[in-house]
């Protein structure tokens, strides 16, 4: 028990000594501060730093609130007085009341001193970091502006090599405006580097000056854009002039008919006037019209010869007067278009002659369809375009050439008047013929008498060979293409 009491006493003394060490340290700190600043000066300095801190953080505190907080801190910090007691009494008293002493006097002083220190140092750090960040932003902005300036300088040199009308004034204005920014970049961004010339002391001033520089660069950029548009416009005029000259030369070399040549010369002259008047869009329009004349001239060089060849071919194959008369009509129209120099109408006449020649050379058989899954005839009821109710019986036909291949035939649908090329169509026949074919197919599934007509070479239309129930050749009554 004695040993235990001794150990506890030793521990109490050690704890007390630690407390006394802390108190002594606080007192020494207080004395050290007093050597450099009096209380009022400390207060003023701390108030100033706290205001700076709150300004950065954005918190709102009035001057009265800040001063009251500082007064409260200092009044508590220096209110402690040492008691006038002998050492043993004071030792016992401090030992008994050691917890309260530390909580009441020592700890608040340490905490308050720490808070003030951290606050002041934190404010300084935040402020320094903020200023550093703002400085870097200004540096980057200055360097970016420097890069733009260099780009604009190169563009100005490029524009100076052109001689577009009105360009000299634009380039001169851009050059002068850009030159006015040279002093700024020489001071704050020599050779494109700003980090050594933009500092925490001058970044605000540099930023303000930079705004004026940016405005100048925007003005330069606008002028350079206008200058580029002038150059592009001028190049367009030059290009259209070359195109017009080349096209008229090619047309003249092809020796077109006088009608086309007259149009070509007119479009060329008007195009040149547009170029000289600096009317680019009109010049382009005349250039397009001249290109059309060139195409027409190229076609005209071969179309008359095609007309003659086709007309000769038709006359050699035609075996009926109607085919010859049709060919003569197309040929006469073609000659009229040749004389007038109307290439489009001449081309249309050539197409008519081609179709006629191909039609006369066709040979095929009109045969009733007789395949599994496909109808050979239909009983049709419909309302025509006049609103009349009609009915009819139709055999389903197809055209088969000499090689056994089906071929498309142009058929006009009597229900709507439209003509189209189809591989199968319905041919209207009398009811008696329809029923006869029906019985023929139902007998053994095969239509023995399946030939409706034939188209021979040299003729425009096929000839019907199928007879009615009285032995008379049928006449074509009408066709349908949909059912």
Query: How far apart (Å, rounded) are the C-alpha atoms in residues 73 and 64?
Result: 14
At residue 57, the pLDDT reads: 45
Helix (H, G, I), strand (E, B), or coil: what is residue 411?
Answer: strand
At residue 334, the pLDDT reads: 97
At residue 444, the pLDDT reads: 85
The counts of H helices and E strands in the chain are 15, 10
Query: How far apart (Å, rounded) are the C-alpha atoms in residues 251 and 298?
Result: 9
Angle at the Cα of 189 from the Cα atoms of 178 and 208, rounded to 5 degrees: 75
At residue 90, the pLDDT reads: 56
At residue 2, the pLDDT reads: 42
Return left, alpha or beta for 2; rule: phi > 0 is left, psi -120 to 50 is alpha, else beta: alpha
Query: How far apart (Å, rounded) are the C-alpha atoms in residues 44 and 65?
Result: 14
Query: How far apart (Å, rounded) are the C-alpha atoms in residues 143 and 166?
Result: 33
Provide the residue ranges of all domains of the chain, joining segments of one domain with +: 16-133, 303-360, 364-480
At residue 443, the pLDDT reads: 84
Give the residue among 312, 359, 365 at the shortest CA–CA distance from 334.
Answer: 312
Per-residue tens of pLDDT for the chain, all 483 residues: 444 344 444 445 455 455 656 556 556 655 554 544 456 665 676 666 556 544 544 555 567 766 665 665 455 444 444 555 555 455 445 544 555 555 555 455 544 444 444 444 444 555 566 667 899 999 999 999 999 999 999 999 999 888 787 899 999 999 999 999 999 999 999 999 998 899 989 999 999 999 999 999 999 999 999 999 999 999 999 999 999 999 999 999 999 989 899 999 999 999 999 999 999 999 999 999 999 999 999 999 999 999 999 999 999 999 999 999 999 999 999 999 999 989 999 999 999 999 999 999 999 999 999 988 899 999 987 666 677 777 789 999 999 999 999 999 999 998 888 999 999 999 999 999 999 999 999 988 889 999 999 999 999 999 999 999 999 999 999 999 998
The model's pTM is 0.53
Tokens describing residue 65: 């609130």
Query: How far apart (Å, rounded) are the C-alpha atoms in residues 283 and 293?
Result: 15
Count CB atoms within 10 A of the CB of residue 174.
Answer: 24
Tokens describing residue 335: 């000659």
- Sign of the Cα torsion 189, 195, 199, 203 reads positive
Q: Could you tell me where the beta strands, DSSP code E, fall in 282-371?
A: 364-368
**Under 8 Å between Cβ of 122 and 53:** yes
């Amino acid at each position: 028990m004695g040993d235990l009491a001794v150990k506890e006493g030793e521990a109490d003394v050690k704890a007390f000594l630690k407390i006394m060490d802390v108190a002594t340290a606080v007192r020494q700190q207080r004395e050290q501060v007093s050597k450099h600043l009096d209380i009022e000066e400390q207060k003023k300095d701390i108030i100033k730093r706290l205001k700076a801190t709150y300004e950065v953080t954005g918190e709102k505190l009035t001057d009265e609130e800040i001063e009251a907080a500082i007064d409260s801190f200092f009044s508590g910090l220096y209110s402690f007085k040492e008691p006038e007691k002998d050492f043993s009494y004071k030792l016992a008293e401090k030992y008994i009341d050691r917890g309260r002493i530390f909580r009441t006097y020592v700890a608040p002083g340490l905490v308050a001193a720490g808070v003030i220190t951290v606050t002041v140092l934190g404010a300084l750090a935040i402020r320094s970091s903020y200023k550093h960040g703002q400085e870097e932003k200004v540096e980057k902005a200055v360097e970016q502006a420097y890069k733009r300036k260099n780009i604009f300088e190169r563009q100005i040199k490029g524009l100076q090599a052109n001689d577009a009308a009105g360009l000299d004034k634009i380039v001169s204005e851009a050059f002068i405006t850009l030159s006015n920014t040279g002093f700024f970049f020489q001071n704050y961004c020599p050779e494109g580097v700003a980090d050594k010339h933009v500092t925490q002391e001058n970044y605000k001033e540099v930023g303000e000056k930079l705004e004026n520089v940016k405005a100048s660069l925007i003005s330069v950029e606008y002028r350079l854009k206008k200058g580029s548009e002038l150059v592009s416009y001028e190049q367009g005029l030059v290009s259209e002039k070359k195109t017009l000259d080349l096209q008229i030369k090619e047309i003249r070399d092809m020796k077109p008919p006088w009608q086309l040549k007259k149009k070509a010369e007119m479009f060329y002259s008007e195009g040149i006037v547009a170029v000289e008047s600096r009317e680019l869009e009109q010049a382009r329009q005349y250039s397009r019209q001249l290109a059309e004349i060139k195409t027409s001239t190229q076609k005209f060089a071969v179309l008359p010869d095609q007309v003659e060849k086709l007309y000769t071919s038709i006359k050699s194959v035609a075996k009926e007067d109607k085919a010859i008369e049709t060919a003569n009509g197309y040929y006469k129209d073609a000659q009229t278009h040749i004389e007038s120099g109307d290439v489009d109408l001449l081309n249309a006449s050539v197409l008519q002659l081609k179709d006629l020649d191909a039609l006369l050379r066709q040979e095929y058989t009109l045969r009733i369809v007789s395949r599994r899954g496909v109808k050979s005839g239909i009983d049709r009821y419909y309302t025509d375009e006049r609103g009349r109710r009609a009915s009819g019986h139709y055999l389903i036909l197809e055209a088969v050439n000499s090689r056994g291949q089906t071929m498309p035939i142009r058929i006009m649908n009597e229900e709507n008047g439209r003509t189209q090329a189809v591989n199968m169509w319905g041919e209207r026949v009398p009811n008696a013929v329809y029923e006869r074919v029906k019985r023929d197919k139902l007998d053994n599934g095969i239509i023995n008498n399946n030939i409706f007509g034939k188209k021979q070479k040299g003729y425009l239309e096929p000839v019907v060979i199928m007879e009615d129930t009285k032995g008379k050749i049928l006449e074509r009554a009408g066709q349908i293409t949909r059912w």
